[in-house]
């Protein structure tokens, strides 16, 4: 998605060799006009999948997910993060390890909001090592719902998340796919829009 | 806002004498079409206030805030909750006590996303004891920004939050104002739309 790639080039900040900070339009300050365009793009990509529900994780997934929900006209459920889970009976729960924060969190959703009639589109802000997405996939399996696909805002193709998902034969679409960070610059998979190609 | 009051009557669940659970359209499962209408209503209520930024707190404030941001065409910043704050130099921070969870959290936002040129509209899902809103007001003061107003989805008028805010002369608008829970039923301030009035 060209408008997103351009925004990453303009406002993204590369930290070290594998972190991209996009806190001025996606995960701390949010650009709602961009989110709306992203929601419509997710709809274009998955519109034939008969989606009945969007699933994401708090907090950074919520903004892109609710605009996808608006485009599909379906409810959005955001999984909550907990250090531990006590009331397990009413919840679907999975464990997610965060490589960036080096902690494990439980994520959970109320059983009343996901069931075997649902066809679910997962939306998340980043796909890196794939832990959050795998937790959501696990929850969808527990609910015996159908996983229709996964929509990602920014994918880092050089980390292992995409490979893990591809192994399971899941339909994944990422609005921006980053192949590498070179000298603090972002290089996209789509050759036409890399920094180098613009030189 | 009649459509919101009707939804609360239909889907809200009164727990005990002061808790309203609205997790099937606002703070766990989210109805994006309703959120969009609420965003437009906030715009109608504050459109003359020259808003430059929307401020909220993760996670339940994000959905109404981003649709308000879309209606105003301004960026949305969501404060993050932490148990403790270490990197204070780059952050505006305040402490918020949650009466429902009985814990204190720090909330913080990056200094780069709020400054003295901003006219800020605070959006939050609930106004009960006013703790979250007061934390956000504190952060706006630290940034030397102007507080233009506070937009609340559901206000419980019988708790002390509204009074605290009114004392400071702040422009507050709530889309639904609940005056009491009686026998597990919701009674709104607006007499025309209480359960009793419908009987």
**CB contact, 8 Å: A24 with chain B?**
yes
Test the A interface: residue of B30, B51, B123 with most A CBs within 10 Å: B30
Closest by alpha carbon to A185, among A2, A3, A17, A27? A17
Whether pLDDT at A83 is above 90: no
pLDDT the model gives residue A85:
63
Beta bridge partners of B104: B97
Using pLDDT thresholds of 50, 70 and 90, give the confidence band for residue A138: very high
Residue range A9-36: mean pLDDT, rounded:
95
pLDDT in tens, B37-83: 999 999 999 999 999 999 999 999 999 999 999 999 999 999 999 87
Task: Say if the Cβ atoms of A78 and B28 lie within 8 Å.
Answer: yes
| Percent with pLDDT over 70 in chain A | 92
Closest by alpha carbon to B153, among B128, B133, B188, B124? B124
Tokens of B35: 């959120």
Phi, psi of A38 (to 5 degrees): -65, -40
Task: Compare all CA atoms of chain B with the CA of A39 and give the residue at the minimum distance.
Answer: B32
Sort out which chain A residues have CB atoms less than 8 A from B23's CB and list them. 110
pLDDT the model gives residue B99:
83
CATH class entry, domain A2-194: alpha beta
ipTM comes to: 0.93
Spell out the domain ranges in chain B.
Answer: 2-198
Sort out which chain B residues have CB atoms less than 8 A from A75's CB and list them. 25, 29-32
Q: Which fold has domain B2-198?
A: Rossmann fold (3.40.50)
Q: How many CB atoms lie within 10 A of CB A23?
A: 17
Instruction: Annotate A11-78 with DSSP letters as a single string.
Output: H-EEETTTEEE-TTTTSSEE-HHHHHHHHHHHHHHHTTS---EEEEETTTTHHHHHHHHHHHT--EEE
pLDDT the model gives residue B196:
43
Distance CA B108, CA B118 (A): 17
- Please say whether the beta carbons of B115 and B52 come within 8 A: no
Whether pLDDT at A42 is above 80: yes
**CB contact, 8 Å: A101 with chain B?**
no
pLDDT the model gives residue B132:
94
Task: Compare all CA atoms of chain A with the CA of B114 and give the residue at the minimum distance.
Answer: A29
CA distances from B185 to A149, B6, B8, B180, B181 (A): 40, 13, 10, 8, 5
pLDDT the model gives residue A98:
84
Cβ contacts below 8 Å, chain A against chain B, sum to 92
Task: Say if the Cβ atoms of A110 and B23 lie within 8 Å.
Answer: yes
Phi, psi of B117 (to 5 degrees): -85, -10
Helix, strand or coil, per DSSP, at residue A187? strand
Q: How many CB atoms lie within 10 A of CB A160?
A: 12
Task: Say if the Cβ atoms of B36 and A75 lie within 8 Å.
Answer: no
Q: Name which of A41-50, A137-146, B81-90, B134-143 the model is least confident about.
A: B81-90
Q: Which residues of A29-62 are buried (b: 16+ CB within 10 A; e: fewer)?
A: bbbbebbbbbbebbbebbeebebbbbbbbbbbbb
Provide the H-helix boundaries in B22-129: 32-46, 62-72
Helix, strand or coil, per DSSP, at residue B83? coil
Q: Name which of A43-47, A96-100, A191-195, B78-82 the model is least confident about.
A: A191-195
Measured between its terminal Cα atoms, the distance across chain B in Å is: 20
Q: What is the pLDDT along chain B (199 residues), one digit of tens a residue?
A: 999 999 999 999 999 888 999 999 999 999 999 999 999 999 999 999 999 999 999 999 999 999 999 999 999 999 999 876 666 679 999 999 988 788 898 999 999 999 999 999 999 999 999 999 999 999 999 999 999 999 999 999 999 999 999 999 999 999 999 999 999 999 999 754 444 433 3
Burial class (CB in 10 A: 0-12, 13-18, 19+), B15: exposed
Instruction: Annotate B122-171 with DSSP letters as a single string.
Output: EEEEEESS-HHHHHHHHHHHHTT-EEEEEEEEEEETTSTHHHHHHHTT--
Sort out which chain B residues have CB atoms less than 8 A from A23's CB and list them. 110
CA distances from B113 to A165, B108, B120, B140 (A): 35, 11, 11, 11
Mean per-residue pLDDT of chain A: 92
Instruction: Annotate A125-174 with DSSP letters as a single string.
Output: EEESS-HHHHHHHHHHHHTT-EEEEEEEEEEETTSSHHHHHHHTT--EEE
pLDDT in tens, A88-134: 679 999 999 988 788 898 999 999 999 999 999 999 999 999 999 99
**CB contact, 8 Å: B70 with chain A?**
yes
């Amino acid at each position: 998605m060209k408008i997103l790639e351009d925004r990453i080039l303009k406002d993204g900040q590369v930290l070290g060799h594998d972190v991209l900070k996009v806190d001025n339009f996606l995960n701390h300050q949010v650009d709602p006009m961009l989110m709306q365009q992203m929601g419509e793009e997710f709809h274009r990509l998955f519109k034939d999948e008969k989606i009945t529900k969007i699933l994401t994780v708090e907090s950074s997934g919520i903004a892109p997910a609710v605009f996808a929900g608006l485009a599909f006209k379906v409810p959005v459920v955001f999984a909550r993060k907990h250090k531990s889970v006590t009331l397990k009976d009413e919840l679907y729960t999975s464990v997610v390890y965060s490589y960036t924060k080096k902690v494990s969190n439980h994520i959970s959703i109320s059983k009343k909001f996901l069931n075997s009639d649902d066809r679910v589109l997962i939306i998340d802000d980043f796909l890196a090592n794939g832990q959050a997405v795998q937790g959501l996939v696990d929850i969808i399996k527990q609910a015996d719902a159908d996983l229709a696909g996964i929509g990602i805002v920014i994918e880092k193709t050089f980390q292992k998340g995409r490979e893990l998902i591809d192994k399971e034969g899941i339909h994944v679409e990422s609005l921006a796919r980053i192949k590498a960070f070179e000298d603090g610059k972002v290089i996209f998979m789509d050759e036409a829009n890399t920094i180098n190609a613009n030189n």
